[in-house]
Structure 1
Amino acid sequence: MATIIKTEDGSNSIQSAQFEATYHSIHGAIQETQTVFIEAALKHKATTQNELSILEIGFGTGLNAFMTYLEALKLELQIHYTGVEAYPISEAIAKQLNYAELLNAQDKEQQFLNMHAQTNEWLECAPNFKFYKQVGRFEDITAQNQFDIIYYDAFAPSVQPELWETTILTQMYQALKPKGVLTTYCAKGVFKRRLKEIGFDIEAIPGPIGKREMTRATKK
């Protein structure tokens, strides 16, 4: 069962009864996505290339994908976006999320809802933004040198520790192209040590409101 909650920046999130966790920071869903994924990953890579392939681990509410879509339109980026989610939310829940209103993108709300409605096939949200929602487990990803960016937005290590172990992080490393980046809100020492052991270069950068640091990892 999922319950809609309001975060401190006015944007909605979801409280998961199954995992006893929220999908976003209580300090603000939109501000967290803007800091962790749009600024630290998308805009970071867009300084050197305008064609990007993105993998999102934990599609969840679709906020990361929707904000990336809006940014792609603004910056004229060519993006292929794959969101992976084992437990998709219902379209009824998606309709209760207020992202289009708060982002002044009411005319794009139908595309947001389409992202939730369509699974396991490509959706053209715009000529420069292709979207694919893959329903399945993160552990089953077998991509090799395919993505420029990974948004690692799984539930926290305290909730799903298996998603922060060396095995799955190695799969993420293999899925990235050389010089590809992975960003996440997590800055735990053991997590960063695992990334280094796999072969990532690690940066501890300022986190969203409520978190002193976050992590950006670059494939050598």
Structure 2
Amino acid sequence: MRLTGDGSSTLFVPALNEHYHSTHGARQESRHVFIGAGLLVRLAAGLGQPGRPPLRLLEIGLGTGLNALLTLQAAQAAGAAVAYDALETYSLPPAVVARLLPEWAAQPGAAGGWFGALHAAPWGEPCPLAPDFFLTKLAQPVQDAALPAGYYDLLYFDAFAPAKQPELWTEAVFTKLYAAAAPGAVLVSYCAQGQFRRNLRAAGWLVEKLPGPPGKREMTRAVK
């Protein structure tokens, strides 16, 4: 476990020589890329609001649960309902979860309880973490996952960098995600690599560059 520039923690994977999050600030990166450029845009469009179906979200790379928990906090603050599916092939060991828990327990409100519930949730079935927020953890790589067609309103693409997991950044993967996305769906990623954007376009996505979080010049948002 390592502290990042904003005081929040990340993990380091020696086998990949890679951190889970930006060393400039794990929380600020997640809030900028996934919440600000993704979730809040979709909520502003009326998705997940009272009287409407939940916003249907897919994350590729659950990791520590940071994106999911910040999404839960933002959705609760907005009074929005979210059905959150997350693909992850490596669950965190209990000892690592225990080391991360104090940071979440120090956050306002129910964050510590949500963090524990997220990592204790069974795999493969919906788990209510809070009112109007259901998490389904799926222990599958995106290449093998049976994703429903035209279903997701928002996609968080948070896999390790293309140089570390090139098999997850292919045109075939983004074609599969395009098929699983509802019309108007948004995909957001911290990555700004040119080949990544070309693969998105080849799969049918409309791609735009956005300013990146601190320490990174650009990020990517794509729309179906």
- Alignment TM-score, normalising by the size of structure 1: 0.94
2:93 aligned partner, one-letter code: S
1:200 aligned partner, one-letter code: W
Of residues 85, 93, 115, the one that matches 1:82 is 85
1:102 is displaced (CA, Å) by 5.9
Equivalent residue for 1:120? 124
Once residues 63 and 23 of structure 1 are traced to their aligned partners in structure 2, the CA distance between those partners, rounded to angstroms, is 10
1:137-168 CA distance string (max 9 Å, x none): 12112321111001000000010111111111
Q: How does 1:32-111 map to 2 (within 5 A)?
A: 32-51=29-48, 52-97=55-100, 98-101=102-105, 103-105=107-109, 107-111=110-114
Task: Report if aligned partners of 2:83, 2:134 keep a CA contact under 8 Å in 1.
Answer: yes
Higher strand residue share: 1
Once residues 190 and 74 of structure 2 are traced to their aligned partners in structure 1, the CA distance between those partners, rounded to angstroms, is 20
Report whether the alignment pairs 1:203 with 2:200.
Answer: no
1:21 aligned partner, one-letter code: E
Task: Report if aligned partners of 2:106, 2:112 keep a CA contact under 8 Å in 1.
Answer: no
**Are the structure 2 counterparts of residues 103 and 218 from structure 1 closer, same or farther at C-alpha, using a change threshold of 3 Å?**
farther
Once residues 11 and 75 of structure 2 are traced to their aligned partners in structure 1, the CA distance between those partners, rounded to angstroms, is 25
1:8 is displaced (CA, Å) by 0.7
SS of match in other structure, 2:184: strand
Q: Percent identity of the aligned residues?
A: 39
The aligned length equals 215
Farther off after superposition, 175-184 or 130-139 = 130-139
Task: Report if aligned partners of 1:38, 1:68 keep a CA contact under 8 Å in 2.
Answer: yes
Task: Report if aligned partners of 1:91, 1:117 keep a CA contact under 8 Å in 2.
Answer: no
**Are the structure 2 counterparts of residues 82 and 99 from structure 1 closer, same or farther at C-alpha, using a change threshold of 3 Å?**
farther
SS of match in other structure, 2:99: coil
Of residues 2, 8, 32, the one that matches 2:5 is 8
Once residues 196 and 172 of structure 2 are traced to their aligned partners in structure 1, the CA distance between those partners, rounded to angstroms, is 12
Q: How does 1:181-200 map to 2 (within 5 A)?
A: 181-200=186-205
**Are the structure 2 counterparts of residues 101 and 108 from structure 1 closer, same or farther at C-alpha, using a change threshold of 3 Å?**
closer
1:90-125 CA distance string (max 9 Å, x none): 2321222255256434x3312211111222221111
2:160 aligned partner, one-letter code: F
In the TM superposition, structure 1's runs of 4+ consecutive aligned residues that sit over 3 Å from their partners are: none
Once residues 109 and 30 of structure 1 are traced to their aligned partners in structure 2, the CA distance between those partners, rounded to angstroms, is 15
**Structure 2: any 5+ residue segments left out of the alignment?**
49-54
- Alignment TM-score, normalising by the size of structure 2: 0.92
Equivalent residue for 2:52? none
Once residues 111 and 179 of structure 2 are traced to their aligned partners in structure 1, the CA distance between those partners, rounded to angstroms, is 34
1:17 aligned partner, one-letter code: P
Report whether the alignment pairs 1:169 with 2:174.
Answer: yes
SS of match in other structure, 2:76: helix
**Structure 1: any 5+ residue segments left out of the alignment?**
none
Farther off after superposition, 58-67 or 195-204 = 195-204
Task: Report if aligned partners of 1:185, 1:207 keep a CA contact under 8 Å in 2.
Answer: yes
Of residues 136, 142, 146, the one that matches 1:138 is 142
Cα RMSD for the two superposed structures: 1.3
